[in-house]
Amino acid sequence: MNNFTKAGSGYKCFSTFIPPYVLDSMAKAGIKEAKSTIIQSQYFRENRAENSKKMGLLGAVVPAGRAYVQVFDSQNTQDFQKELKRDQEKKPTPTGDEAVDLTYDYVSKDRDCLKNELNRNSLDNNGMDLICNVHYGENYGNAFWYNGQITLGDGDGEIFTNFAKSLDVIAHELGHGIVENTAKLVYQDQSGALNEHFADVFGTVITQWVENHDADHADWLIGDEIMGADLYGEALRCMSEPGTAYDNKLLGKDPQPAHMKNIYTGTGDNGGVHINSGIMNKAFYLTAVEIETNQAARIWYNALLNLWPTANFKEAFGEIVKAAQILAKNNSVDRDAPQRVRAAFREVGLS
């Protein structure tokens, strides 16, 4: 399935948080909501051109450049920007709707961390507004970034809870927005896995900043908060031990490799974009525990600014080492950071 639309100057990817192979496994296990989520995603894909147009026309509710957060309620339809529930200007007070208020809170914190820690002014570094849609679809068990907006489903409450409950899911999706505005990594094969990897890096780093955790105390899990009662204790990805996030009859087994020798070469999942990101995630984790998450985040962010759409793992590794060298020279990271980065990548089979 083609996951790109040519729009203006670049490609827009439609990436969902729950990978297709997980939804397939759930559908095979007879989970009705998984089938419905697949159908709703398909509907979105098939009507993408029309949706883009609608979303574009709806945009720019407040002047650009202010990095305002706006949360809309889709009211369990597949419409975007249906009813404005919270924004900074007209509706700044909590609504009592948990999905609205958590999304507003997490997206605001994400934006503030980008500014304070990375000196980045919103996702495009130009103060773009952060438009969010919650209560999208019916029991929709997924979240996605598309067309400059983050959209979150409610889940069915048993397998997945409301996606707004997870800061790392939200930070992951907003991370796709940063990638789209920087390296524009093509959502296929290794460049696509890099796209997923950088989104996971933003997911964990923003969460660690907001929760005041360091590398040793962070859980390094992505998506653990959205697991409902049936899957309590599982997560979608584990950055410290890729391949161990889940193993059960509903989701199947986490297929992420942690080393180049086990890289997935099949065609599913756009060439393994949610699978092979495990290798890069492990390298980030190994670096962060050595030099702290703050420094690793600065290095990865600077590398992202210099990457290009078709970059592969080896090229990303090269840019990450280069960024570490430049930042070490400026005393922005430890002097031995480049060595630590190299050592981390050696452990996952990249040198």
Is 6 strand, coil or helix?
Answer: strand
> Which is nearest to 197 in space by CA: 268, 123, 122, 272?
272
Query: With binding defined as CB under 5 A, does residue 22 bind Zn ion?
Result: no
Query: With binding defined as CB under 5 A, does residue 15 bind Zn ion?
Result: yes
Distance CA 19, CA 96 (A): 31
Report the nearest approach of Zn ion to the CB of residue 151 (Å). Answer: 13
Nearer to Zn ion, 272 or 338 (CB): 272
Total residues binding Zn ion (CB under 5 A): 3
Report the nearest approach of Zn ion to the CB of residue 200 (Å). Answer: 8
- Residues 6 or more apart in contact with residue 216 via CB below 8 angstroms: 289
Catalytic annotation present for 46: no
Checking DSSP bridges between strand 69-73 and strand 130-136, what pairing results, if any? parallel
Stretch of residues binding Zn ion (CB under 5 A), selected from 2-10, 197-205, 280-288, 331-339: 197-205
The terminus-to-terminus CA distance of the chain in angstroms comes to 33
Main-chain dihedrals φ then ψ at residue 344, nearest 5 degrees:
-65, -45
DSSP assignment, residue 182? T
Stretch of residues binding Zn ion (CB under 5 A), selected from 36-44, 90-98, 189-197, 303-311: 189-197
Catalytic annotation present for 135: no
Query: With binding defined as CB under 5 A, does residue 166 bind Zn ion?
Result: no
Q: Which of 173, 234, 292, 319 is catalytic?
A: 173
Nearer to Zn ion, 203 or 257 (CB): 203
Amino acid sitting at position 50: E
Q: Which of 196, 274, 290, 292 is catalytic?
A: 274
Distance CA 209, CA 254 (A): 27
Query: With binding defined as CB under 5 A, does residue 152 bind Zn ion?
Result: no
Out of 31, 199, 218, 221, the residue judged to bind Zn ion by CB under 5 A: 199
Main-chain dihedrals φ then ψ at residue 126, nearest 5 degrees:
-135, 25
Stretch of residues binding Zn ion (CB under 5 A), selected from 49-57, 72-80, 123-131, 195-203: 195-203
DSSP assignment, residue 160? B
Query: With binding defined as CB under 5 A, does residue 142 bind Zn ion?
Result: no
Instruction: Catalogue the active-site residues.
Output: 173, 274
Give contact residues for Zn ion (rule: CB under 5 A): 15, 196, 199
